[in-house]
Structure 1
Amino acid sequence: MIMGSKHGRMRCEVVVQPSGSGTESRLVLLAALLTILICGAVIMLRNTAATAKEVPGWQIDAFEDLGAEELAVFNGLYTAAPEIEMFHEDEGDWPSVDQLAADFIPPFMQDAAWEINGAMGWSRTIISTHDKHIALYVGHPATPSVSGSFMLVMLHDHVKKEGNANASAHAPYEVWLHQSPVAEVPSAVTDQALINTGWREVVARKGSDETRQTKEEFMQ
């Protein structure tokens, strides 16, 4: 503020300090720091949770651990499984490999993609008891360098599936992979029996996986 007389003989300058004295600036800076700290903490917690949900050693993550050819076979089996299940519900029997190929259902149909993905030779084994009806579709590659052995396990009465602590949570079908291209067809179809003979379940993991949690309880 400047003051003076009308004749200009007296001049006085007064400096007026801002009323906030920098308080507003410090508050904005503090808010920014708090935001950064909160975001950092959330990121660390999410990373920790993701690490805790790693795939167990007896399972294979389809999108992380399979090669392109193996992933194509897995996708084919996972797509074919509901159709095989519907056929069984309608006909009371499991379709043969020849029927699946005749209906142009991959990976059973022998087209160009079938050959690129290892030219799998498929067989069907049916296991029937008084409380379950299981079909195993096992594929062995003609080119061992491309893939191991695949197996689609179809479980008609999965609620009574032998060898599981909480069988009611099981899906009606599962896909398993063996490192050997000439793996034998298993005689016992329980999780532990398959794991003991070198088979590993292939899973398409999406967020929280209830199947994994159920089987972890069984494995403990």
Structure 2
Amino acid sequence: MNPASTQVVRPAGAGHETLYVLLLCALILSVAATVVLWRGEKSESQSLASHQLDARRDLSAGEQGIYADLRVTLDEIRLLQAESQALPSPEELAAEGFAPFAQDASSVSRGGHAWQLQGQAYLGLSHNPQVAGSFLMHIAADAPDKVEIWLNRSPSAPLPKALDEQQLISAGWQQVVAQFDAGVTRQHRH
């Protein structure tokens, strides 16, 4: 028989393992911070002129809906214009069911606009300016791709004789523009 022997087993020190884990975490955080700073996008916001409104930030929900409808219907207007060599009347567009010219529940809830053709422009006078102002979609005769959409929130929106920018601005109209920057979806306005 062997004499009884006692062997002392010391616990493994957690000090070294903890140090290695903390160093690894610090390395991962520093690499991640470097990548974020190096690859991060610079926020370049374009400023609007005093007579312009941003379609996503400055319009009410009803106005955004009418603006979107006008942009979508513009393709159909161009097709009909190519067929007949003239801009289709708002009545023709309403008969085809194109928003915002068609008188349906949606158009009534968005201000109940009365549309008319004024030369090279569609004028939609609002019956309820608190919900949505009056709209003007001007299609240039010499450049059909150049389309401007204007908004006037006054109860009686005057239409100037000339549809150039200075005349519209002096009559109280504001041009609606769409800015496509990545930061618009990351804004939290409360």
Q: By the TM > 0.5 criterion, same fold?
A: yes
Runs of 4+ in 1 over 4 A off after TM superposition: 20-27
**2:94 partner amino acid:** A
User: Pairwise CA RMSD of aligned residues?
Assistant: 3.5
Q: What CA distance in whole angstroms lies between the structure 2 residues aligned with 1:136 and 1:21?
A: 75
93, 102, 117: which one aligns with 1:100: 93
Q: Note the residue ranges of structure 1 that are not aligned, 5 or more in a row.
A: 1-6, 12-19, 127-134, 160-170, 209-220
The share of aligned pairs that are identical, in percent, is 28
In the alignment, which residue of structure 2 is the partner of 1:190?
164
Matches within 5 A, 1:59-98: 59-98=52-91
Partner of residue 27 from structure 2, selected from 20, 26, 31:
31
Q: Which amino acid aligns with 1:34?
A: S
Residue equivalent to 2:122: 137
1:154 matched to 2:139? The reply is yes
1:174 maps to 2:148 = yes
Q: Kindly tell me the number of residue pairs found equivalent between the two proteins.
A: 180
| Helix, strand or coil at the partner of 1:206 | coil
Aligned to 2:51: 58
Amino acid at match of 2:125: H
Distance 1:57 1:36, change over 3 A: farther
Q: Deviations over 1:123-165 (max 9, x none)?
A: 2111xxxxxxxx1111111122212110111123228xxxxxx
Shift in CA distance, 145/37, structure 1 to aligned 2, threshold 3 Å: same
Q: Of residues 82, 92, 111 in structure 2, which corresponds to 1:118?
A: 111
Q: What residue ranges of structure 2 are gaps of 5+ in the alignment?
A: 8-15, 183-190
Match of 1:177, SS? Answer: strand
**What's 2:188 paired with?**
none
CA contact (8 A) 1:81 1:154 kept: no
More strand by share: 1
Q: Given the two structures, how large is their TM-score scaled by the length of structure 1?
A: 0.65
Q: Distance in 1 between matches of 2:73 and 2:18?
A: 69
